[in-house]
Structure 1
Amino acid sequence: MITIYHNNRCRKSREGLEILEKSGKEFKIVKYLENTPTEEELLEIIQLLNITPIDLVRKNEAIWKDNFKGKTLSNSQIISALVQNPKLIERPIVINNKKAVVGRPPELIKDII
């Protein structure tokens, strides 16, 4: 089953959702601002994406700039910051079996569906 971690207020996330809808494939939507992934789930997502935790951070968000920018944080601290502040999670994230992608640009989603 395909999963999209989605924020409806984000244009790129809405574009990613549209790609999934047009694909005709079955998928589920996780509104991650309401249903924040646990630290374990985020770690699994990061591993599927084959990135480091800092690569999943939206560094231009005010929360990041005001509270974390310029600090030396461990991977575990970054993951905790993402769980506590899900707005910092890059979006959309689409997972299909053991493949995952951050849909920036949204066309990247087509590579895994």
Structure 2
Amino acid sequence: MSDLVYWHNPRCSKSREALALLHENGYQPAIVTYLTLPPTKSELRRAISLLNLPVIAMMRVKEKRFAELGLHSGSTDDELIKAMAANPILIERPILFTATKAAIGRPVENVLKIL
């Protein structure tokens, strides 16, 4: 089993590029297609902790659904986490996890910085 986990959206070019970069560098992460298998609120909280970023930094704030839900920069962390759990399209992608760190692959090279 891989000690790397990759939250992937195969329809996203950046997600595909970052995965290819990992493969080119010899890494074979376990792939989670998070749109079909959304993370739980607990998994999202752990991801945020490993990213060491504000909750909103893990969100696609320009996504139409963000505004439709009435979310904004002043929304509470709990509101944002609940929204991501129910609407995984709001999760920024891709995200690579090690046992102790995580990185959002924007730019795609960010995934290599935690390895």
Task: Assess same fold via TM > 0.5.
Answer: yes
SS of match in other structure, 2:17? helix
Q: Residue 77 of structure 2: which of 67, 75, 78 is its match? A: 75
Aligned to 2:36: 34
Shift of 1:67: 1.9
In the other structure, the counterpart of 1:49 is 51
Contact 2:71 2:80 in 1 (8 A): no
Provide the alpha-carbon RMSD of the alignment: 1.3
Contact residue 96 and residue 102 of structure 2 kept, 8 A: yes
1:58 pairs with 2:60: yes
Deviations 1:28-85 (A, max 9, x none): 0000001100000000000000011111110111101222244742111110000111
Corresponding residue pairs, total:
113
Instruction: Extract structure 1 runs of 4+ deviating beyond 3 A.
Output: 69-72
Partner SS, residue 31 of structure 2: strand
| 71 and 105 in structure 1: CA distance in 2 versus 1, 3 angstrom threshold | closer
User: In 1, Cα distance between the equivalents of 2:8 and 2:73?
Assistant: 28
TM-score (norm 1): 0.93
Report the alpha carbon displacement of residue 6 of structure 1 after superposing the two structures with TM.
0.3
User: Secondary structure in 1 aligned to 2:80?
Assistant: helix
Q: Which residue of 2 aligns with 1:109?
A: 111
Calculate percent identity across the aligned residue pairs: 38
- For residue 28 of structure 2, what is the amino acid of its counterpart? E
Q: TM-score, normalization: structure 2?
A: 0.92
Find the aligned partners of 1:94 and 1:72 in 2 and give their Cα distance.
27
Aligned residue number for residue 25 of structure 1:
27
Task: Extract unaligned runs of 5+ from structure 1.
Answer: none
Q: Distance in 2 between matches of 1:26 and 1:69?
A: 35
Q: Which residue of 2 aligns with 1:93?
A: 95
User: Counterpart of 1:10?
Assistant: 12
Per-residue displacement from partner, 1:88-110 (whole Å, max 9, x unpaired)? 00000001220110000001111
Q: Which runs of 5+ in 2 are unaligned?
A: none
